[in-house]
Structure 1
Amino acid sequence: MPESSATPSAQSAESGPEPGSDPGTAARTVLGEADIARALTRIAHEIVERNKGAADLLLLGIPTRGVQLAHRLAERLTQIEPSFNGEYGTLDVTMYRDDLRRQPTRAVGQTVLPGSLDGTIDDKVVVLVDDVLFSGRTIRAALDALNDLGRPRVVQLAALVDRGHRELPIRADYVGKNLPTSRSERVKVRLSDVDGGADSVVISGVTPDGGAR
């Protein structure tokens, strides 16, 4: 397995349990559009600083919102680092998840690598991009998926939100915001190019249903 400071993490299910029916718990916005923009700009600078440039960098977004976040990071990296070619890809982890027996109806997506790579990620600095880091199981699945694509030089993890409650020994290299939560809360990332409206990160209280991602 490639070296990874993002020790095996998870897909959009990292946000937490589905909303419950308790009408007395209000949602609250913890990040607005400007906050998210600043967080992504900071992460882009941290990626360049940590890797001393971006010549061999490959961003891989985990569907759904991780792909849009990877796209935005790619735009920022292009502006601040001339050696970055602006390319990014999509890493579908559906068939590598450990909950398929419990949720066998998951739709399988596509893994799409930039055409310039000729289908290989060998010797690249791969940065996995996801919206919410929670249990760590999606990133573990992502690392398994990477093994079938090649041997990157290093694997790093960028998450817009880290809400804690890890079930696996995984940590993000780049975090937009550390957000302490209870397991019974749901963290929802909304992006204009996916959900419409303004970008936001919202926490809502829910009735626990045991669904960790």
Structure 2
Amino acid sequence: MDGEAIRRAIVRIAHEILEHHKGLQQVGLIGIRTRGAFLAQRLAKEIEAIDRHPVPVGILDITLYRDDLSRIAPNPIVHATDISFDITDLHLILVDDVLFTGRTIRAALNALTDLGRPKTIELAVLIDRGHRELPIRADYVGKNIPTHPREHVDVRLRELDEREEVVLEPREEQT
């Protein structure tokens, strides 16, 4: 996917959210740090451009909720969760870049429910690559990309990377 395809996917997801949540008064977007946070901000801008209604956006850090914490780094860096609105009784839309095994989303759900009791939680992802290990599915998907489990989906966004694209790469074998 190139930058234009990413933009179109975000516009499509924004329209789907607006169709499903008429009014938007009780809706909030929560981006999973790091790329999910940027995608949530883009979605909020797109929704406001279409509907003229601002949607609150929060950023969720799930580092301490991961079940693979000991494998990813001996001293993980924990960033702040930044949600400046009460999530209780809101319809939340959790936003991430890639849905793979479902473990990141499970961690995000645990982190969110520690912060309050939302009315509902939906999931929006730019890429759904399959290979679930947990019973989790996305409500809004930019693109389904069937992959091999040993491939890596690399989402590059202009806010962090030199380019705006989604690429499939071979995953390095772990020893």
Does the CA contact (< 8 Å) of 1:54 and 1:81 recur in 2? no
Find the counterpart in structure 2 of residue 172 from structure 1: 138
Equivalent residue for 2:170, pick from 191, 200, 205: 205
Does the CA contact (< 8 Å) of 1:67 and 1:90 recur in 2? yes
Equivalent residue for 1:87, pick from 56, 60, 81: 56
Cα deviation for residue 190 of structure 1 reads 0.3
Q: TM-score, normalised by structure 1?
A: 0.78
Q: Which amino acid aligns with 2:171?
A: V
Q: Show structure 1 runs of 5+ residues with no match.
A: 1-30
SS of corresponding position for 1:101 = helix
Cα deviation for residue 107 of structure 1 reads 0.8
> In percent, how many aligned pairs have the same letter?
52
**Hey, what's the Cα distance between the residues in 2 that align with 1:161 and 1:179?**
7
Equivalent residue for 1:113, pick from 71, 75, 83: 83
Equivalent residue for 1:138, pick from 96, 104, 120: 104
Q: Show structure 2 runs of 5+ residues with no match.
A: none
Find the counterpart in structure 1 of residue 70 from structure 2: 101
Find the counterpart in structure 1 of residue 156 from structure 2: 190
**Hey, what's the Cα distance between the residues in 2 that align with 1:207 and 1:121?**
39
Cα deviation for residue 162 of structure 1 reads 0.4
Does the CA contact (< 8 Å) of 2:27 and 2:55 recur in 1? no
Give the total of aligned pairs. Answer: 174
Q: Greater relative contact order: 1 or 2 (C-alpha under 8 angstroms, separation 6 or more)?
A: 1
Q: Which amino acid aligns with 2:19?
A: E
Which string of whole-angstrom CA distances, capped at 9 and with x for unpartnered residues, describes residues 39-96 of structure 1?
Answer: 00000010111122311111111111111101100100101123x3243110111111
Greater Cα radius of gyration, structure 1 or 2: 1
SS of corresponding position for 1:113 = coil
Which string of whole-angstrom CA distances, capped at 9 and with x for unpartnered residues, describes residues 169-211 of structure 1?
Answer: 00000000000000111110000111123x100001234438x
Equivalent residue for 2:47, pick from 68, 71, 77: 77
Q: TM-score, normalised by structure 2?
A: 0.94
